[in-house]
Chain A
């Protein structure tokens, strides 16, 4: 049987069915605003206040300024220590101070942070001993601080794998009746990894109180964002998992803290995870071992210098009369003292013990590890004897 064109037209829903009222958009409330949230202009002048992201209290902003200033000085010092050979490698977060500090300032001390290798500044800003933070990069052990005591997971080097840990930790905490929030730092490149997607999805399905905080600093070592995603923004990656998301100007400290505060509240109130993309820029190369001139030009870097987050917040706080020359000088002095103390402590050669290599592989070493430990012990004794003879 053949169908006549008339029959096709008659069956067409466009012409025959009555118009149905539009269903509510199920993505409403999930998609980010089309422009990154911004509360300060790059020169520090304020933009109109917003109901959705109220400005944080000025005391919090002053504390944020202090931590950013000290954090930058720490970052500069760590870079210098690398040039002196005291650190094997150092991934700088210079330029990302608003994100580094905002990410931890929005949390309680009992909340958990899941950092990557670039979050050294965030961790020192959280109050963790900088020498312990730099243990990984100095190379005397892997993780130098106590994650359980500091509620801070080891800095994660395999990309995005911490996204799933954060989901599990946050779910486990709520499972046991605690209102802990987990915040997972992640970079733009790592949003391409499967574990980012699995982490966000698990957190969403189990309504785990996690904030996924993407610092989009535009490069994964050398590879630009355009090779990571065709999405309009990395914050669009939440909607497919049913996770509300937002994008923020990552060099606007006021906006970063405002957005993260809301994200943390969302998570803590039992509504599940929240995804934030911060648009920022890595002013330094990927690490000291990287040559950034091979993939980006000086004009691009210079343009971002004009959007410096510390100068921006300082200008704003001065305009609010929450900061004056004396306060700025005092903070600078504190930062210098912090760096000097770090330098002194890092100049001491750390003690390492080869026998400790066997201590923590298992709770109790296996017979094979005991054997190997005794072998190393004998080798060390023999080497000492030889030195004694010489």
Chain B
């Protein structure tokens, strides 16, 4: 066991994939000599050469479209979108081709591409550097959407993404890049499609993914003082979604709060809340509530903490889970 950062685990996953599979190529903007603006590809070009890890023209649609062609030729492209919002020029390539080529051709073509997207905020980034864009991808059939919250998951999920026969949008929470933990690599954690209970509890379930997982865990710790024993489920793979684990947890606890950093309206949390409500209605003692970012464009750095789901906001929401069997005052007309 060694202490390492999520960034290092991601770097190790890329290096091991390059080592194990000669079809793997890593490319994007500044990923070569520089090693990426977050250093996730640090040292890969020096170690594997500039044919396997290379810089491209600064054009995201080009990067993803180029990956489509490379995948058609039999390679396994892993591309980096430098920041969440800078992936938008590639959206047509992702939604119209990456996601659909297998289906369009009845399986004759597949494009096993990994699109790495550093996403979400909490790092004081300026405009266009902090978007939580996962809902756009999760809403697009044909894509898998994965987001690690732990160091070992970062390694394991990225390795699995690269090996996966389908395209994967791999969402990396920027604010967790330099979080560290004890990890032993090569780690293999739960596979795609499995949510994981990060903290067992009996009174309510907090469902979270990516950057919201540490917030949920911290809130669960703080809730002990309030007398609540909260369970925390880490979704890990938004697509495919693990209804079974989430449902089982909520049926045990009878209460559920879904936490996401993205703006809430029509978001992944809304989907999760709906699914839980559909499957757990008779086990629920209170409506499923959500804690999300505000329905605003991502704010300027000095205002981002108002936007981000905080421990306090989570606890305030947990408090509204009808512990006294009274209606939620928020929705009762004064």
Contact = CB atoms under 8 A, between A and B. Distances in A.
Interface of A: 141-143, 146-149, 153-154, 158, 161, 163-173, 175-176, 182, 194-195, 198-199, 201-202, 205-206, 356, 359-363, 366-368
Contacts of A141: 106
B62 A201 contact: yes
B180 interface: no
Contacts of A164: 61-62, 64-66, 68-69, 93
A168 B61 contact: no
Nearest to A182: B69
Top 10 nearest A-B pairs (CB, nearest first) are A168-B69, A164-B65, A172-B73, A198-B62, A169-B69, A366-B240, A168-B66, A363-B165, A172-B70, A142-B104
A158 B165 contact: no
A201 B59 CA distance: 10
12 contacts: A143-B104, A143-B108, A149-B108, A158-B96, A164-B61, A172-B74, A175-B75, A199-B62, A202-B56, A360-B102, A360-B106, A360-B107
A368 B275 CA distance: 11
A202 B241 CA distance: 36
Nearest to B141: A361
A176 B108 contact: no
Given A172-B70, A173-B73, A362-B166, A202 B106 contact: no
A168 B74 CA distance: 11
A362 B110 CA distance: 9
Given A164-B66, A202-B56, A169 B110 contact: no
Given A154-B105, A168-B69, 8 more contacts: A143-B104, A164-B68, A168-B77, A198-B62, A201-B59, A205-B56, A360-B105, A361-B102
Given A147-B105, A164-B93, A168-B68, A176 B73 contact: yes
Given A141-B106, A167-B66, A202 B92 contact: no
Contacts of B74: 172, 176
Interface string B249-291: 0000000000000000000000000000000000000000000
Contacts of A359: 106-107
Given A201-B57, A361-B102, A166 B69 contact: yes
A141 B105 CA distance: 9
B57 A142 contact: no
Given A194-B89, A201-B62, A362 B109 contact: no
Contacts of B61: 161, 164, 194-195, 198
Contacts of B73: 168-169, 171-173, 175-176
Interface in B132-158: 141-142, 144
B109 to A, nearest CB: 5
Contacts of A205: 56-57
B70 A366 contact: no
B57 A363 contact: no
B92 to A, nearest CB: 6
B69 A148 contact: no
Interface string B29-61: 000000000000000000000010000110101
B101 interface: yes
B122 interface: no
Contacts of A166: 69
A47 B228 CA distance: 90
Contacts of B304: none
A154 B104 CA distance: 8
A171 B66 contact: yes
A295 to B, nearest CB: 27
B124 interface: no
Contacts of A198: 57, 59, 61-62, 65
B65 A147 contact: no
A167 B105 contact: no
A201 B93 CA distance: 16
Nearest to A198: B62
B221 interface: no
Nearest to B77: A168
B97 A367 contact: no
A123 to B, nearest CB: 14
Nearest to B62: A198
B143 to A, nearest CB: 9
B319 interface: no
B239 interface: yes
A176 B69 CA distance: 13
Contacts of A201: 57, 59, 62
Contacts of A195: 61-62, 65, 92-93
B72 interface: yes
B82 to A, nearest CB: 16
A368 B243 CA distance: 9
A156 to B, nearest CB: 8
Interface in B206-233: none
Contacts of A175: 25, 51, 70, 73, 75
A199 B65 contact: yes
B67 interface: yes
A176 to B, nearest CB: 7
Nearest to A366: B240
A169 B65 contact: no
Nearest to A155: B104
B243 to A, nearest CB: 7
Contacts of A206: 66
